[in-house]
Amino acid sequence: MIVKHKCLNYSERVIKSVIDKCNKDFKGLDGILEVFNNTREQGFVLKIYDSYDPSYDTCIWVFEIPLQDQLNVIFGNRKDCTADNHWNEEMFKSRITFDSLNTKDVIEMIFDYIKERYDRDLTYDVKLNI
């Protein structure tokens, strides 16, 4: 039997919940979900685009480190995200770490961050794609 490696399970659950919540609660938010693997970590990066000012774009990495029962979150912007979806070492050192079983806390924290940054008078439909 071929199975997906378990180290993406929690990250995937969190990021899908965040996207579902954003699609329900926000209008006019555009973004894309991409994956990354930098040999030490693997997970997802959610890129949220600002229509008028690319410097306002947000990158949110959600990932697990193999053999650790932790979810990690890094917040950054477009300048912090390399072409292959990596971040710099300083950002890694300042990551936020959660116990993998506390996915609800991670979802709420990420959603609150997005809400704080993007909860404006948005009038268009949400277009986050999985």
CA torsion through residues 24, 26, 29, 35, sign: negative
pLDDT tier at 45, thresholds 50, 70, 90: very high
Percent of the chain past pLDDT 70, that is, above it, reads 87
> Which tops the pLDDT comparison, 59 or 41?
59
Average pLDDT value over all residues in the chain: 82
Contacting residues for 103 by C-beta, under 8 A, at least 6 apart? 10, 13, 14, 17, 71
Name which residue leads in pLDDT, 74 or 78.
Answer: 74
> What is the pLDDT, as a whole number, of residue 123?
46
- pLDDT of res. 130: 56
> Which pLDDT belongs to residue 99?
84
Is a pLDDT exceeding 50 seen at residue 22? yes
- Amino acid, res. 49: Y
Q: Find, among 111, 117, 120, 106, the residue nearest to 24 by Cα.
A: 111
